[in-house]
A and B are shown apart, each in its own frame.
Chain A
Amino acid sequence: MKKKRTVDDHLPLTHTTYYILLALGSSLHGYGIMQKVEEMSKGTVRLGPGTLYGALSKLEKDGLIVKVDVQERKKNYQLTDLGNRVIQAEYERLHELVERSKPYVKKLGEDLT
């Protein structure tokens, strides 16, 4: 029996996982995901195939993405509702963290100059 996991159990996401999930808002396959992630990250994240393969199998197992048929023998990946919820939750978490810490970080930053 699989234990039921809540959205929060999937957090925090790694940089890589966050971008991969985000890329799968539309259904894509291997190289398409790599290009989309590179584009979204403005060239800062270039996925290695080992990293991508590992992430895809884990995300599929966790139910955050699913395989969808495109043609015979060719399959794409796509975000599930749960995956979408996880992205929303992670975005909120990061956003809150940045917002709440902003004045303190700014103040500390003044000490540096």
Chain B
Amino acid sequence: MKKEKSCFRIFFAWQDEKEEQWLNSMVQKGWYFKGYRRGRYYFEQGEPADVIYKLDYKSTSNKDMEEYKTIFKEAGWEHVDSFLGWHVFKGKAGERFSETLYSDRESNAQKYKGLLLTTGLAFISGLSIATSLVFNDSVTNSSVGDFLKGFYTALLVLLGLSLTLIYRKYRRLLSR
């Protein structure tokens, strides 16, 4: 029976590279990433090896998921898990064709553009729910209303922050 463990960690969309580094530091200690469920990262113990993890964000429709996974697999990157459009891939030394998932700046920027569009859409949906229902006193009664107002304010601030930081990342990639 292999040893397993899990830990709680919040993943911020604009810190995807930091997240990769963290997964890589875990595998160097012999903890292989297995999956992500409700804010928890699951790991399984194994021999430390030259393995790296990379994150991809897929904003296109999931109809071609098999094709997507096949292209990565053929390039030596094994699909481990996905959550909210993010996909974690594992590449072993000697098996991976490339050291990165994106080999040019333009396509890497394109990935963040997709992420920006999804986040922007979530922000607009949140904003329209907030203005039409939550902050409309004739619809929401006061006791539930206060909770919802707090929740939606926090949500919109977080989404707004994500948009700003992802946009900065995207601009940096385009202009470098």
Contact = CB atoms under 8 A, between A and B. Distances in A.
Interface of A: 14-16, 29-31, 34, 45-57, 75
Interface string B50-82: 000000100010001001101110110100000
Contacts of B56: 50
Interface of A is mostly: helix
B175 interface: no
23 contacts: A14-B104, A14-B107, A15-B104, A29-B74, A30-B74, A47-B75, A47-B98, A47-B103, A48-B98, A48-B101, A48-B107, A49-B71, A49-B75, A49-B98, A50-B56, A50-B72, A50-B107, A50-B108, A51-B103, A51-B108, A52-B71, A52-B75, A57-B64
Contacts of A29: 74
Contacts of B68: 53
Given A30-B71, A34-B97, A50 B111 contact: yes
Interface residues of B, number: 24
A49 B107 contact: no
Interface of B: 56, 60, 64, 67-68, 70-72, 74-75, 77, 89, 97-98, 100-104, 106-108, 110-111
**Max chain A Cβ within 10 angstroms of own Cβ: one of B74, B89, B100:** B74
A46 B89 CA distance: 18
Given A47-B97, A48-B103, A49-B71, 5 more contacts: A49-B101, A50-B56, A50-B101, A50-B102, A50-B111
